[in-house]
Structure 1
């Protein structure tokens, strides 16, 4: 059953928006704690060297980079809202010797450009499909965090033929899925950090505009139902994954999604939050490797092309 806390979510969004102007003076973005779920470690770096490139698609420039063996099974990593692909650095370090790892910065975020169109999950899903077409990749395993996981779910509903599997971490099916109207210190630090990172990548662009655009989307999307998520094919491997102390998404969201998606698995990572992949990277990446090992045993990965 959907938890009815949409008003709480709006309060959280409102508080975040008005909090933005107060975070510029303090540059502290690393949060330490004896409890892993309360930590925000430094943003990882992508392995060196990385050859970031731009694809001109859907009237914008999408930044992407690729690691790994040319004929490895392709995995697309999608970051969370306001972030960038660097956040996957620890996972890429571990997986790049086995898998073809593709990373992209979502539209208007990281190093990718924006357009006048409103940001939506449908539009960002279209960007993913267009990038895959640009690269000549027919199918992928998709690993998504937060907004990236929501894009993955949207892809699974509307373009399931482009996916071998989906590992969706920190997703939500409804905009009412926020935990409460408070702003935890770890998320305060995340806002400060993503602002600094965005401004380093985009000297002449406004983080506040991006922030407002995403808040507008988060206030109303996603709004999927059991019928929507039930469209995901039962033979598409899906894991719904979250941290047991997620400060952004309440537990009802992954529990419900896992029950609505045919044959989906659910994994709750202990002692972690919405940032599990940097709080407990070994635990997170081991779970991801187990998932990929399981699905690649039963999924033929022979029909993808990688001409570049």
Structure 2
């Protein structure tokens, strides 16, 4: 069993990573259905929260059926982050997560996200203030460092643990790498193996199959795995990893009928959350991912994107579900 504060998870929990414009309530509902043990919201700007920006405040919405769930915030100003943490706690998430890993220029180059890894004393001071501000567990998602020459991830985790951070998820790349190259989990293993570190450590980066998930667990000793990009269009990965971990056998990929049913569920949640027009527009970016690798599907993807009404969209989905395609492929 893995424990974060009072939260008790399985002995090998699978976490849904916070992803901007992806891990909203409709997508989280789908991932929960297929076995995500702990999920995070999209990251939320601390400045947006303290200024009552509608976009930021809307991201605070969570549902009882999503629990356990964490709300993630980012920012470069300690006082603003502390104030934002107080606002987050009012939304009653299971835990609060601090983003020390976002690599995008407009975040990191302002000293937020992965940018704070260039100033470890400030990173530690910010975490300490947030821990003192709230009564719920506080966790952190981070990267190995700013670049290969500044990797101090063991020290980072020690500093965070010292001020009360109760779990850390580590993406095995530096900020300089962005999402290129191969995630280096050897640094994550060094954190987990350090005798002075006792909080749960979750690994993140490049996990896209059940075999890789279990191989990395055994090789690097992590307490659990956080999965991001591999879940986009393939939420079944949670189910498949859990099945392989429990039985040593692989589940077959989801059928075309199941893929269509999942899209319909995702769309239904999105309509409830965003309204018909916005849901129809924003779901367009998901169709190619849900049908990735499926033969003969390209013309239908275009029809899904171009569908002018909900009824027309449903007609296309029904046509796809009826296609005589029996050989499915994994993501």
The TM-score normalised by the length of structure 2 is 0.32
